[in-house]
Amino acid sequence: MEKRKGVGMTGRPARTGRGGGQASAGDLLALVRSGRATTRGALQRATGLSRATVGQRLDRLFRAGWLREGAGGPVDSPLGGRPSLILEFDDEHAVVLAADLDTRHARAAVLTLAGEVLAEHTGPLVVEDGPDAVLGELGRWFAELLEKAGRRAQEVCGAGLAVPGPVDIGTGRVVQPPIMPGWDGYDIRGRLTRAFAEHTGAGSVPVLVDNDANLMAYAEQRAGHPDCSAFVLVKVSTGIGAGVVVDGGIYRGVDGGAGDIGHIRVPQGAQALCRCGSYGCLAAVASGGAVARRLAAAGVRAASGSDVRDLLAAGHPEAVALAREAGRLVGDVLATVVTLLNPGVLMIAGDLAGTPFVTGVRELLYQRALPRSTARLDVVTSRLGERAGLVGAGALVVEHLYAPERVEERLRALGL
């Protein structure tokens, strides 16, 4: 998600809402969700609203089913008295659908609003088959997963989709994706909405789409490194991409192209043709797909990054050597990335994110980057593993739907 500026979310006094007006019900919900104010008294102090006004706005959230109240809070009054009731976001009132597309397979799940996986499915799904077929199949998967989770389609508040290509976040359409032929400019949101309705009979739900590395970075930063203000994740699978999280928000650039490091030109790839049509791209010589091609040329059965991952797990000597060499090439490029962004955490994820590749990254990264840029840098591997894209897609939906301005729109739509 983009960084949200508003009551209680930036560290500034939260006494007014956006534009200098009074804090809205959405602003109160944001304060509760962030943990900055979890009692009625704390909300009054944070916003400057009267007790009656806080009560009226909380009532709208209670009637929507988004808040719950329980005992056990501190005493709000300096004069003593009974403990306050604690306000909590009710993360059980709805569910989120999430899917993470790779080039040859996909993973889909039903998640709670807190990110807990209720039901999950992984299976073959080839992006080269085109968006109509792939998204239609995802709609079927979602219907089956809801049944498996014991949840109704009407409980779904939104769906998130991670894709292996650059995304215009405003439209949800991929833009010139090198490894997604036939997807450029396609109406992903509309097709997935129709597919969901076709298989469940439910009405339309909001669909959000973003790049897979972005969503993986978003999930990993929130789950394992919440205090890291500059976080970079590099996914090395069939292709190579990076996700950047700055001050808790995904950095996407002006049109979703940030992080596309797989298409930086490197001298070692001068004769290598990339799937984007250019020669010399990093992905053409150091991705899982590139390693698979070199192994296949040597007579080893490998067609994709996932095949390389399996060979690495088995300790295949040639795969190990090529993965380390690929890591060195990526590490050389990452020296520039680290010098430019000065992150606190650099996470390596994807099919090649094992010891040989990470060792190669470290060798060149620390050799080429300025010592100051790496002095406080942690180079780590994924904490969430293959679920990172799913968790990130779910979180994207939740943060979008429960942002203060969107809360107000949704409450009005509910007649509250």
241 with 379, same domain? yes
- DSSP conformational letter for 82: S
Residue 297 belongs to domain with CATH number: 3.30.420.40
Tokens of 234: 């590099």
238 with 369, same domain? yes
3-state SS, residue 206: coil
pLDDT score, position 76 = 59
Q: How far apart are the first and last CA of the chain?
A: 26
Domain presence at residue 6: no
Tokens of 352: 């090649």
Give pTM, 2 decimals: 0.90
pLDDT score, position 238 = 87
pLDDT score, position 22 = 86
* Residues 6 or more apart in contact with residue 367 via CB below 8 angstroms: 335
Tokens of 260: 């596309």
Tokens of 206: 């909001």
Domain boundary among 69, 89, 109: 89
Distance CA 285, CA 294 (A): 9
* Residue of 164, 183, 47 lying closest to 106 (CA atoms): 164
Q: What angle do the packed helices 188-200 and 131-149 form, to 10 degrees?
A: 40
Distance CA 218, CA 77 (A): 39
Domain presence at residue 11: no
239 with 370, same domain? yes
pLDDT score, position 84 = 74
Domain presence at residue 7: no
Domain boundary among 55, 89, 123: 89
Distance CA 117, CA 96 (A): 10
* Residues 6 or more apart in contact with residue 81 via CB below 8 angstroms: 75
The total number of residues shown for the chain amounts to 416
Sole residue written with tokens 């909590």: 88
297-312 residues labelled b (16+ CB within 10 A) or e (exposed): eeebebebbbbbbebb
Q: How many domains does the chain have?
A: 3
pLDDT score, position 70 = 81
Check if the beta carbon of residue 77 is closer than 8 Å to that of residue 41. Answer: yes
Which structural domain range is residue 307 located in? 225-384
Burial class (CB in 10 A: 0-12, 13-18, 19+), 202: middle
Tokens of 268: 């070692």
Check if the beta carbon of residue 157 is closer than 8 Å to that of residue 105. Answer: no
Distance CA 172, CA 185 (A): 9
Domain boundary among 89, 124, 150: 89
Q: Which residues of the chain have pLDDT under 50?
A: 1-16, 19, 79
78 with 144, same domain? no
